[in-house]
Structure 1
Amino acid sequence: MLYVGVDLGTSAVKLLLMEADGTIRNIVSKEYPLFLPHPGWSEQNPEDWLEKTLEGLQELTRGYDSQQIAGIGVGGQMHGLVTLDDQDRPIRPAILWNDGRSEEETRYLNEEVGKKKLSEYTANIAFAGFTAPKILWMKKNEPENFKRIAKIMLPKDYVVYKLTGMFCTDMSDASGMLLMDVKNRCWSQEMIEICQITEQMLPKLCESYEVAGTLRPQMAEKAGLTEKVKVVAGAGDNAAAAVGTGTVGEGRCNISLGTSGTVFISSKNFGVDQYNSIHSFAHADGYYHLMGCMLSAASCNKWWMDEILNTKDYEAEQSKIEHLGENSVFYLPYLMGERSPHNDPKARALFIGMSMDTTRQDMTQAVLEGVAFGLRDSLEAARNLGITVSRTKICGGGARSSLWKKIIANVMNLKVDETESEEGPALGGAMLAAVGCGEYPTVEAAVEKIVKVVRTVEPEPELVEKYERQYRRFREIYPAVKNLY
């Protein structure tokens, strides 16, 4: 049988067709627009996600026997607020994960409700990107729209709802709404009351591999598939990526170098960071994970290359970089504010340390290193909890860069394992579909069969030492400039 994985990203939806043994048969990507109506705002139209997903499904499966396609699993951008009225129409454009408009509501939750209570209710504190502050923003700033809300969901849940007619979400994605009691895997009644919504507005909670439903006739026709195709609840993009890289079970790590960047550590036991600098979420394997998230990762390099250097030849720019661990230029990777560990939506990127002999290569190197240092901030938060990590998987568009992987291995002093496939969230979605359809008994069993490590980037002691000194200098920059934002 064949399984489809869908990665509903910020700039495009990527679809992957996988055989039961993990062999990838086809990959398709479809772009859609991102709207930035005000500084710090970030929105998309949910209808665009569905339209491009259906187009992608048609193209992905063309030439294959539709009877052989058994299931679909959707991974997607987390935290976005999608609101529907009683006619199932989007009330307004979706407010995305990297939108910073809810600073005031975030402060209210953290300071007036209190971080301690939030952590008790949800295992997390409020961040501007989370869904609950966005709901409060909508209540205050768009009261007429707020009154029309019949359903609240996350981006990938909108696609699943339209495909199947089932109003549901999964535990991993719901964990990032600040509405879910993560420890007990249920909605938090306290947060529902604080946000002045009802539980009926929220979707049914499912495990990621649970079958949400089958394709509705109209959707099956548009996708070129049969109505027998099962659609599982799916997962947040980071949890789906973790499945795709084999980061499940106890004590495994994955670094994602996508638009945003994450350090993801899986665990069979529930745990909370007492300093609230990293998130405590449910995982797509049925257990839990800790995750640190930086809002701008590979997007920093894309901005630098595309907008500033005006080039698409990333490899050529990186090929000229030679002296690692010795750069006098530093870069703060906060283009859209920052989440872990600073929780500061006003933070912005900057270069520091330039002189008359600074080169184009120095600044390109600083961007790559700045992202690696930002990721290490999250790793250090996990280490402060007593978590020991010696190696990590890696995925995302930035993971295609050999140089960047080398920098990360040495900045973080971790062995970086490269898997046979770098298709993280889309592959994870397909694997969850395979579990939901009974191809594998558990997510861990699917990982054991499908995910293969093909090479490892080893940290080099001398370079690790150099980057240790550089990281200490990097850590001093944000506190020094914080009051300027």
Structure 2
Amino acid sequence: MAEGADVLIGIDAGTSVIKAVAFDLAGRQLGTAAVVNTYREEPDGSAVQSMERTWADCAKALRELGQVVDGLARRTAAVSVTGQGDGTWLVGAGNRPVGDAWLWLDARSASTVRRLWDGPLERTRFERTGTGLNTCQQGAQLAHMATVHPDLIGQAEVALHCKDWLHLCLTGVRATDPSEASFTFGDFRNRAYDDTVIEALGLSGRRHLLPPILDGTMTTHPLTREAAEATGLLEGTPVSLGYVDMVMTALGAGVYAREPGVACSTVGSTGVHMRAVHSEDVFLNAEGTGYVIALPIPGVVTQVQTNMAATLNIDWVLGTAADLVAEFGDRPSKADLVGRIEGWLARSEPGAILYHPYISAGERGPFIDPDARAGFIGLSSGHRYPDLVRAVVEGIAMAARDCYAAMGDMPRELRLTGGAARSRALRSVLAATTGASVRTSSRDEAGAAGAAMMAAVAIKAFPTMDACIETWVTPLLGPAEAPDARLAERYAGVFEGYRTARQGLAPVWNHMAALRSRDVRLDAGAEPAELAIAAGNETGN
């Protein structure tokens, strides 16, 4: 570590924003800079992002951070980068992008995923990776490209992820990390590529596209002259390749503890639910869903289940109220409505209405069904708007419990991060629904902090990740908020109804999807006779 270097920079390249955050060696946040991210969605299900623009935005964020933190370039001991997971960022000759990146939001590989689900090696693939196959993942996207876009994949020399691309731009080194490598193409037990997994994806002939696996807690590479000029940092600054953003956020928020039974939920637009376990203690569910993602701690992984939508459901129910009020006058602000949630919950009966929070048109955890939709069950003429708000909040908590139930025993302590963690009402509902004590982290930028922690270990500022956690994470955890015993008993019964209804609704969701598909074809000019035949096939008649 260079003399006078007392700053670590964590880069977190998310889907909506790219952040560069400076920390001192003890984990105190010194400053942050952010650049809004841009991507494009099309009717065919594609969601793509310019790779050149992503690098330019990352460099801009670092330059702007230099305006926030005095003497940043000479003070920087190391940089680490994490970013949005899954997706496919193809690189060809001269380290130039091959078209735009396919994001985790891209749904074009759906038909390929359905085909691979029926493959003879699918269960083996799941048991090696610990990860259910879905359209988000690079393995599915590469398999789809190989069939549908062979010209595109034929130009590629390496297939990277978002953070891997930025690491390449910073260092000139093509690599990926153990977390994304093993949950997509490998075995979480040894954190290496697995030939059977690659075969199950139909990619044995494309194995050359998989980059070397690099652990950023052990190895750094120097910032190149070109990257130094673009970012304002000094050439030769050590750069660490972080793990995928989900586990970096969880690491920074406190997912790992020496004592058992600790879990971590990020309750933001989506819901991410994790528990840290030793590799030999992983619980693989019969449905073949979820992720197993390595932590930068030897022998320790996270089990993960993710909801498509968490607070997006609250946005919807509040937006509905705002639309209605606006019909009669000024539209209330979101902040005004959020401020009323506590009062609405106080005036409503717990567990009176079931709400399944699949407002984002589909679900991925703990089950995968693109046809799943949100809905209320149990409405009566006596229910009013506060009852609906409570049902939505409870639905988010029930979805979290559903996810943890698919990973084994329920946690005894739940550590929260994300915007919703600031809500006392949501915390109390989550605690009672899961039966776990709840603690929040005061860390503002957990993802960037997790990445910076890897750099801290890599440059020997801390001897181990455990030692880094004791300084960077543990002091920022708030007091434990115990669940209300009576409310927990009530919610335990409600959850059984929630899960039974969720399982029973699948045929209804599928039927409604068939009707929507028929309507789309009708709008496109299909003949009535064709529609009748298609509808019969789609509903199983």
TM-score, length-scaled by structure 1: 0.92
Give the one of 231, 251, 265 matched to 1:255. 265
Does residue 64 of structure 2 align to residue 59 of structure 1? yes
What is the number of equivalent residue pairs in this alignment? 481
Paired residue type of 1:318: I
| Contact preservation (8 Å) 2:273, 2:305 | yes
* 1:220 lines up with 2:228 in the alignment: yes
TM-superposed deviation, 1:354: 4.1
Deviation of 1:190 (Å): 2.7
In structure 2, relative to structure 1, the CA distance for the partners of 1:370 and 1:101 (3 Å cut) is farther
The SS at the match of 1:456 is: coil
Q: 1:124 aligns with which of 127, 131, 134?
A: 131
Partner of 2:307: 294
- RMSD (CA atoms): 2.3
Q: Deviations over 1:66-90 (max 9, x none)?
A: 2111112222211111112224333
* Secondary structure in 2 matching 1:319: helix
Deviations 1:404-440 (A, max 9, x none): 2221111111111112314221111111111112111
Shift, 1:204, TM fit? 1.4
* Structure 1 residues 82 and 443: alpha-carbon distance in aligned structure 2, compared to 1, 3 A threshold: same
Q: Which residue does 1:149 correspond to in 2?
A: 156
Instruction: Report whether the alignment pairs 1:134 with 2:158.
Output: no
Q: Which has the higher contact order (CA 8 A, sep 6+)?
A: 1
Counterpart amino acid of 1:370?
Answer: G
1:243 corresponds to which letter in structure 2?
Answer: L
The answer to whether the Cα contact below 8 Å between 2:439 and 2:480 also exists between their aligned partners in 1 is yes
Aligned partner of residue 119 in structure 2, secondary structure: helix
The residue aligned with 2:513 is none
Amino acid paired to 2:390 = Q
Residue by residue over 1:252-283, the C-alpha shift from the partner in whole angstroms, topping out at 9 and shown as x without a partner, is 31111133322211123333414233322222
Match of 1:267 in 2: 277
2:529 alignment counterpart:
none
Q: Structure 2: which amino acid aligns with 1:100?
A: A
Structure 1 residue 161 displacement after superposition: 1.0
1: CA distance, partners of 2:353 / 2:320: 23
Change (3 A) 1:418 1:411: same
Task: Say if 1:151 and 1:202, in contact at 8 Å, map to a contact too.
Answer: yes
Query: Contact conserved, 1:115 with 1:125, CA < 8 A, in 2?
Result: no
Output the amino acid matched with 1:255: S
Of 168, 186, 189, which aligns to 1:183?
Answer: 189
Q: Percent identity?
A: 24
Kindly tell me: are residues 411 and 140 of structure 1, through their superposed partners in 2, closer, same or farther at Cα, counting changes over 3 Å?
Answer: same
2:174/2:212 contact within 8 Å kept: yes
Distance 1:306 1:56 in 2: 32
Q: Which runs of 4+ in 1 moved over 6 A?
A: none
- In structure 1, the partner of 2:97 is 90
Structure 2 residues without counterparts, runs of 5 or longer: 1-5, 324-332, 511-541
| Structure 1 residues without counterparts, runs of 5 or longer | none
Q: Give the C-alpha shift of residue 121 in structure 1.
A: 4.0
Asked if structure 1 preserves the Cα contact closer than 8 Å seen for 2:285 and 2:406, the reply is: no
**Residue 466 (str. 1) matches residue 476 (str. 2):** no
Name the SS for the 1:255 alignment partner: strand
Deviation at 1:172, TM superposition (A): 1.6
**Local SS of the residue matching 1:433:** helix
CA contact (8 A) 1:332 1:351 kept: no
Q: For the structure 1 residues 366 and 6, does the alpha-carbon distance in structure 2 shift closer, same or farther, using more than 3 Å as the test?
A: farther
Q: In the alignment, is the contact (CA less than 8 A) between 1:256 and 1:396 conserved in 2?
A: yes
Equivalent residue letter for 1:182: F
The code of the aligned residue for 2:253 comes to T
The letter for the 1-side match of 2:417 is C
Residues 458 and 208 of structure 1: is their aligned pair in 2 closer, same or farther, counting only changes over 3 Å? farther
The answer to whether structure 1 residue 284 and structure 2 residue 307 are counterparts is: no
Q: Which has the larger radius of gyration?
A: 2
2: distance between equivalents of 1:39 and 1:330?
A: 30
